[in-house]
């Protein structure tokens, strides 16, 4: 079953910064709102089963991150996926779906990476009730983690750096010009659904959607616009101003 097929599902378009975000809602709007933010190379449909389970008790909101799914992409792409602009998008969605009450925020993978920004910048204070993070660190926290290990290297710390560096091989690849786009719009995009089914036991069906090749190509700019800059110059004020629940999947092969 796709997200649009769920009973009571409804969609709206939210304009922000020259783009349009595709926003889906389920459940009673009078209940507390939970906003689910997807990762890379996903679209909001990755949350379908979770949204179905939450909708009886929550006002559930999901949106396609800019350049993904049925949301439009910024032009030019370069500079269009910064954490600052992603924060603008979140605030636009939150103001549209829950103008008078703060929302509970849940992020996975790059949805969590950007949500750490939402939870630590001053302009979102009062708009977030809680933040649940899954498999996506704050780039600022990660940058400090790297700097601490490089400043005082020990065999254990060097091993941690090398181990995470090996798991992050795909990050380096996504910084390569043109090649990721060619791969996703070519053989990788065609094979990805079968790879998910085999490696992560994701059943074939409505996910991933047909927008996957473009989603993944656009999403490479999430890495290019943010990772190098934040890891080299992490914010010193990246303290959460909301309660945080951190979920760490111990079997995650990337983090």
- pLDDT (tens digit, 9 = 90+) per residue, 59-97? 999 999 999 999 999 999 999 999 999 999 999 999 999
Helices (H), the chain: 48-54, 83-97, 110-120, 139-151, 155-167, 169-174, 179-184, 187-199, 212-232
DSSP for residue 32: P
pLDDT at position 166:
81
Integer CA distances (angstroms), 94 to 11, 33, 103, 114, 252, in order: 14, 9, 7, 15, 30
pLDDT of residue 170: 81
Three-state secondary-structure class, residue 201: coil
What is the CATH superfamily name and number for domain 3-247? Alpha/Beta hydrolase fold, catalytic domain (3.40.50.1820)
pLDDT above 80: residue 130: yes
In angstroms, the CA 22 to CA 24 distance is 7
How far does Cα 143 stand from its chain's mean position?
18
**Mean pLDDT for the chain?**
93
Is the predicted pLDDT of residue 252 greater than 80, yes or no? no
User: What secondary structure does DSSP assign to 61-89, as a single string?
Assistant: EEEPPTTSTTSPPPSSSTTSS-HHHHHHH
pLDDT band at 215 (very low <50, low <70, confident <90, very high): very high
Work out the average pLDDT over 230-240.
95
Please give the Cα distance from 9 to 45 (Å, whole number). Answer: 12
Determine if the pTM surpasses 0.85: yes
Residue 26, phi then psi, degrees to nearest 5 = -140, 155
Surface-to-core class of residue 210, CB atoms within 10 Å of its CB (0-12 exposed, 13-18 middle, 19+ buried): exposed
Query: Would you place residue 1 in the very low, low, confident or very high pLDDT band (cuts 50, 70, 90)?
Result: low
């Amino acid at each position: 079953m796709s997200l649009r097929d769920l009973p009571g599902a409804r969609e709206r378009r939210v304009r922000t910064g020259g783009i349009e975000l595709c926003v889906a809602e389920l459940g009673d709007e009078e209940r507390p709102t939970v906003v689910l933010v997807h990762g890379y190379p996903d679209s909001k449909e990755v949350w379908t089963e979770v949204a179905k389970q939450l909708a009886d008790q929550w006002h559930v909101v999901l949106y396609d991150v800019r350049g993904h799914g049925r949301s439009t992409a910024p032009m030019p792409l370069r500079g269009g996926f910064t954490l600052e602009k992603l924060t603008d998008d979140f605030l636009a969605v939150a103001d549209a779906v829950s103008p008078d009450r703060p929302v509970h925020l849940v992020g996975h993978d790059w949805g969590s990476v950007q949500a750490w920004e939402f939870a630590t910048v001053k302009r979102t204070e009062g708009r977030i009730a809680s933040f649940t993070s899954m498999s996506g660190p704050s780039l600022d926290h990660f940058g400090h983690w790297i700097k601490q290990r490089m400043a005082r290297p020990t065999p254990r710390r060097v091993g941690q750096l090398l181990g995470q560096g090996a798991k992050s091989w795909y990050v380096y690849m996504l910084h390569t010009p043109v090649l990721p786009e060619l791969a996703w719009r070519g053989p990788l995009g065609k094979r990805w659904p079968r790879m998910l089914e085999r490696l992560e036991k994701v059943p074939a069906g409505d996910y991933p959607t047909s927008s996957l090749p473009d989603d993944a190509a656009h999403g490479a700019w999430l890495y290019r616009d943010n990772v190098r800059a934040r890891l080299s110059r992490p914010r010193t004020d990246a303290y959460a101003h909301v309660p945080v629940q951190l979920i760490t999947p111990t079997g995650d092969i990337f983090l």
